[in-house]
Copies of this chain bind each other. A is one copy, B any other.
Amino acid sequence: MAKKAVVLLSGGLDSATVLAVAGSEGYGVYALSFDYGQRHKFELVAARALAVRAGVQSHVVLDINLRIFGGSALTDQIEVPRDRSAREMARGIPITYVPARNTVFLSYALAWAETLGSFDIFIGVNAIDYSGYPDCRPKYIAAFERMANLATRAGVEGKGKMKIHAPLLARRKSDIIKLGLSLGVDYGMTFSCYDPTPRRISCGRCDACRLRLEAFRACGVPDPLAYARDRE
């Protein structure tokens, strides 16, 4: 039987690519998504479709209530910033940061991995997506991995070592797209927008849309998604 891996799958461009990477490395994939009160819940529809297409062993969508704590434009009725330049995005931690989100996500992935007897967790954080999020930094991922090995049976019984795979960490967004295309990812099935229209069209103006559009432009490939700004 193939080695098992837990893959965090948001339904966005990055996690869709990571899903393909894990599959290409021969892992039996257990995909994990979260309904955490995000405004852009439509990404979960994308996640379901991506998981089916990738032929995962299992896909679990966990309903977790991060909204109860508040504090982010992604879960609260705070306005999502628009039309920010790359320089503006790089300045400080954006309001779209959800407190401790990746820590909560990785903790659940760890719980599932331990139950499955898996030692491999994949997450699609990267240096550009980072755009100020503390929990997307390489040293954060390394610290989580270290903690994970102390937290679990694996670490105590010495049967294996938990590894947090972050294959996109050092890649530019355009390189991520090239990688995904080479692995057959259909980016028309992914969804990135933080602030879609009621009809679930990407806004084209939030940080996530702007980074995505810029990356497709940089690698000379059209983004298969439709954008609301196209029609303005």
Contacts and interface: CB of A to CB of B under 8 A. Distances in A.
Interface string A48-80: 000000000000101111101111000000000
A210 B151 CA distance: 25
Given A63-B65, A68-B60, A146-B143, A134 B111 contact: no
Range of interface residues on A (Cβ < 8 Å): 35 or more
Q: From DSSP, what is the main secondary structure of chain A's interface residues?
A: helix
> How many copies of this kind of chain does the complex include?
2
Most central of A60, A100, A101 by chain B CB within 10 Å: A100
A92 to B, nearest CB: 8
A139 interface: yes
Contact of A99 (B93, B134, B150, B152): B152
A65 B60 CA distance: 11
Nearest to A146: B143
A216 interface: no
B153 A134 contact: yes
Contact of A151 (B92, B102, B112, B115): B102
Interface string A112-135: 101100000000000000000011
21 contacts: A69-B111, A69-B115, A70-B115, A71-B114, A71-B115, A98-B111, A99-B111, A99-B115, A100-B107, A100-B111, A103-B111, A103-B147, A104-B108, A134-B151, A135-B150, A135-B151, A137-B150, A143-B150, A143-B151, A146-B146, A147-B147
